[in-house]
Amino acid sequence: MRIHMKLGVIFFACVLVLLGCGRRVSSNEDNMATETDLQHRIVETPYIGYLQKEMGLSMYEPIRGTYLGAYVLSNPEIGYDIRKFEEAVDKDVAMELRYYQMGDLFPDKWLLECLANKKSPYIIISPKDLDLLYDKDLLDETAKKFRNTYSIPIFIEFYPGAKELGDAENYIDYFRLAKQAFNKYAPNAVLVWSSNMEDIYDSMIYYPGDEYVDWVGMNMFFPYIKIMKDIMLI
């Protein structure tokens, strides 16, 4: 993926000089001298604002466009079926989402359905007990359950998010351990570090680092009632 940058921006640095402080300029000749003096002090400086750089694609990053996905496992009207969702919206999706709690049975049946439907699983993992948010042994056991996932692309996000936990140091340490564990047992999985939209301004204090994050995401929640009101106002 090539990012096109503009190079060689000319930066004009103007030096303001206060002349004649304490005395009164009384002639056009003095004014002309002042303008000439200022012109000599304007310096043209070559300034490079961006660097042109070749950037490779991240793991599973599309060459162009974006992935569409959906969560259908709470919708009985379509039988919790991703194919019926696609028919309803008249659009194919690339991802199917589900929530998974640490310690539960691994959703092998659902994973096989994703494989049969040619969908990439997007799994949001939550802790078994909120009092044991950073159970490292349970984290390791969870990563092991992802060993036999048929080498299909899997996207993994952890819940709750960093800002909701309010403990940057422990969160970063835990996320880094998760990345190492999944690299060891399920190298076909990518880890998504995501922040809520309203928390983006101070989210970077929870960022684990480029070497531990495969994808960066942003969560945006729009209540159904608010959306309907907005539509009615249009």
Give me the residue spans of the domains in the chain.
Answer: 1-56, 69-228
C-beta of residue 100 within 8 angstroms of C-beta of residue 125: yes
What is the pLDDT, as a whole number, of residue 179?
96
Q: Which amino acid is residue 63, in one-letter code?
A: I
d(CA 167, CA 35): 59
Q: Which amino acid is residue 113, in one-letter code?
A: E
pTM above 0.85, yes or no: no
Element (H, E) at 121: strand 120-126
What is the pLDDT, as a whole number, of residue 18?
34
C-beta of residue 82 within 8 angstroms of C-beta of residue 119: yes
d(CA 161, CA 127): 11
Provide the CATH topology of domain 69-228: TIM Barrel (3.20.20)
* DSSP three-state, residue 72: coil
What is the pLDDT, as a whole number, of residue 8?
32
Query: Which residues have CB under 8 Å from 161's CB, separation 6+?
Result: 194, 195, 196, 199, 219
d(CA 200, CA 194): 10
* DSSP three-state, residue 74: coil
Q: How many CB atoms are located within 10 Å of the residue 34 CB?
A: 14
What is the pLDDT, as a whole number, of residue 44?
59
Element (H, E) at 33: helix 28-41
Q: What is the pLDDT of residues 37-63, one digit of tens each?
A: 545 555 555 655 556 677 788 889 888
Q: Which amino acid is residue 120, in one-letter code?
A: S
CA gyration radius, the chain: 28
pLDDT tens track, the chain, 234 positions: 433 333 333 333 333 333 334 444 444 555 544 555 545 555 555 655 556 677 788 889 888 888 999 999 999 999 999 999 999 999 999 999 999 999 999 999 999 999 999 999 999 999 888 777 888 999 999 999 999 888 899 999 988 776 676 688 988 999 999 999 999 999 999 999 998 888 888 888 999 999 999 999 888 877 655 544 554 444
Phi and psi for 151 in degrees, rounded to 5? 60, 20
What is the pLDDT, as a whole number, of residue 26?
45
d(CA 75, CA 86): 13
Average confidence score pLDDT of the chain: 78
What is the pLDDT, as a whole number, of residue 231?
46
What is the pLDDT, as a whole number, of residue 150?
86
C-beta of residue 193 within 8 angstroms of C-beta of residue 168: no
What is the pLDDT, as a whole number, of residue 190?
95
